[in-house]
């Protein structure tokens, strides 16, 4: 078969959107670390020193969130003096966007030079020990119930055709989160995240089935973003804020969006503190990196990617 020279349309769209964001940024440097804030978890951004705000709606082609509690913008600046990019709000597959659009903002951040991403979300507990209000560090994921964002012609510029998934969530970055939890005194559990498509909450039978499969938490966003991010060679870490027990579990009444949003606000208060500390530790971890490949040997960031800035406090 003759070689196909037409640029991949998904790649071309990410590049177009990235170019528009670069233009909005002017000479502002993008931090090597980004935080994705899930539904109702946007308050950490309130404390940010913002150098540039880019609403998703202002970038032609970027999907705009229709979900409650999602602001829908990129913020570039610093938090307590540490440079960071924040994605305040995301889109979900259940909103009707193609999966390539759902993961577009993550791929865009990588094009801008981001190398590590902290993914946050609200989720239901499948593990009965994870009471609402808990924070859970994601150790692994079950993505089998949501379509892969990597289906279709492989985008070689992003990663390999058959990416390894043995360590989706980076161990060193997870250690940073565990250390941040210890230092701030914020309890942090650990567990496996499972992503169905949503938008409906699960049935009690599904929750029982997911528990048997090895899931600890269930949510509608993060696993596909994690998959696309790993494909692209980003190092990632994920945190779920537990807003409710899964449907049909003891003590759980019928589920509502209001309950999820209310608990999300409560969770934000601890999460903000944990993220601020973790950001410093992760920045130090990135800075200590000596090779151009990441800890699990994935693709290197794009040419021109920002180097992690030295940060004195983080290196103490």
Shortest distance, CB of residue 89 to ligand HPA, whole angstroms?
A: 15
Which positions from 124 to 153 touch ligand HPA by CB under 6 A, shown as an x/- string? x-----------------------------
Q: Under the criterion CB under 6 A, does residue 123 sit at the interface with ligand HPA?
A: yes
Q: Near ligand HPA by CB under 6 A, which window of 12-20, 87-95, 116-124, 164-172?
A: 116-124
DSSP letter for each residue of 135-201: EEEEEEEE-TTS--TT-SS--TTT--SS---TTSS-HHHHHHHHHHHHHHT---EEEEEE----SSP
Is the alpha carbon torsion for 288, 184, 229, 34 positive or negative? Answer: negative
The continuous run of DSSP H or E covering 211 comes out as helix 204-213
Query: What is the bridge-based pairing of β-strands 116-125 and 33-37?
Result: parallel
Contact between 192 and ligand HPA by CB under 6 A: the answer reads no
Q: Which is nearer to ligand HPA, 21 or 215 (CB)?
A: 215
**CB of residue 125 to ligand HPA, shortest distance in Å:** 8
Residue 170 lies near ligand HPA (rule: CB under 6 A): no
Stretch near ligand HPA under the rule CB under 6 A, chosen from 120-128, 226-234, 272-280, 299-307: 120-128
Non-local (6+) Cβ contacts of 139 within 8 A are 169, 174, 190, 191, 192
Choice between 74 and 201, CB closer to ligand HPA: 201
Instruction: Please pick, from the candidates 140, 170, 172, 202, the single residue that binds ligand HPA as defined by CB under 6 A.
Output: 202
Asked if 79 touches ligand HPA (CB under 6 A), the answer is no
**Residue 206 contacts ligand HPA per CB under 6 A:** no
List 218, 274, 284, 286, residue binding ligand HPA (CB under 6 A) = 218
- State the minimum distance, in angstroms, from the CB of residue 255 to ligand HPA: 6
Question: 3-class SS at 261?
Answer: helix
Q: State in angstroms the smallest separation of the CB of 202 from ligand HPA.
A: 6
* DSSP letter (8 states) at residue 8: P
3-state helix, strand, coil in the chain (%, to 5): 35, 20, 45
Q: Closest distance between ligand HPA and the C-beta of residue 55, in Å?
A: 25
Only segment of 100-108, 243-251, 265-273, 300-308 that touches ligand HPA (CB under 6 A): 243-251
C-alpha to C-alpha distance for 16 and 59, rounded to whole angstroms: 9
Handedness of CA 216, 219, 222, 227 (dihedral sign): positive
DSSP annotation string for 14-48: HHHHHHHHHHHHTTPPPPSEEEEE-TT-GGGGGG-
Stretch that binds ligand HPA, among 81-89, 179-187, 238-246, 290-298 (CB under 6 A): 238-246
Binding residue for ligand HPA, selected from 110, 114, 220, 282, defined by CB under 6 A: 220
β-partners of residue 142 are: 194
Q: Interface with ligand HPA by CB under 6 A: which range of 20-28, 61-69, 182-190, 242-250?
A: 242-250
Task: Based on the shown chain and the rule CB under 6 A, indicate whether residue 201 belongs to the binding site for ligand HPA.
Answer: yes
Strand partners, 236: 117
Answer yes or no whether residue 243 interacts with ligand HPA by CB under 6 A.
Answer: yes
Per the DSSP assignment, residues forming a β-bridge with 239 are 120, 137
48/220 Cα distance (integer angstroms): 27
Q: Which residue is nearest to ligand HPA (CB)?
A: 124
- CB closer to ligand HPA out of 140 and 170: 140
By the criterion CB under 6 A, which residues form the site for ligand HPA? 122-124, 201-202, 218-220, 243-244, 246, 255, 260
């Amino acid at each position: 078969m003759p070689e196909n020279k037409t640029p991949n349309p998904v790649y071309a769209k990410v590049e177009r959107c990235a170019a528009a964001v670069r233009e909005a940024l002017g000479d502002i440097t993008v931090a090597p670390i980004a935080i994705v804030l899930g539904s109702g978890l946007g308050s950490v951004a309130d404390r940010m020193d913002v150098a540039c705000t880019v609403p998703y709606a202002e970038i032609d082609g970027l999907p705009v969130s229709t979900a409650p509690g999602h602001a829908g913008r990129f913020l570039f600046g610093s938090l307590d003096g540490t440079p960071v990019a924040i994605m305040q709000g995301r889109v979900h597959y259940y909103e009707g966007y193609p999966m390539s659009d759902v993961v577009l903002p993550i791929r865009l951040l990588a094009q801008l030079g981001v190398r590590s991403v902290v993914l946050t979300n609200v989720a239901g507990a499948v593990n009965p020990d994870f009471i609402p209000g808990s924070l859970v560090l994601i150790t692994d994921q079950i993505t089998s119930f949501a379509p892969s964002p990597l289906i279709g012609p492989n985008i070689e510029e992003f990663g390999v055709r058959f990416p390894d998934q043995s360590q989706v969530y980076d161990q060193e970055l997870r250690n940073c989160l565990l250390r941040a939890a210890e230092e701030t005194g914020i309890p942090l559990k650990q567990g496996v995240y499972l992503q169905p498509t949503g938008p409906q909450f699960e049935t009690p039978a599904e929750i029982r089935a997911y528990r048997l499969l090895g899931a600890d938490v269930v949510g509608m966003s993060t696993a596909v973003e994690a998959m696309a991010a790993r494909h692209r060679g980003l190092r990632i870490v994920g945190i779920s804020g537990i807003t409710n027990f899964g449907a049909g579990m003891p003590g759980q009444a019928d589920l509502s969006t209001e309950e999820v949003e209310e608990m999300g606000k409560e969770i934000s208060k601890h999460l903000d503190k944990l993220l601020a500390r973790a950001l410093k530790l992760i920045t130090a971890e990135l800075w200590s990196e000596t090779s151009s490949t990441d800890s699990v040997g994935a693709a290197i960031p794009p040419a021109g990617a920002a180097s992690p800035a030295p940060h004195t406090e983080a290196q103490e």
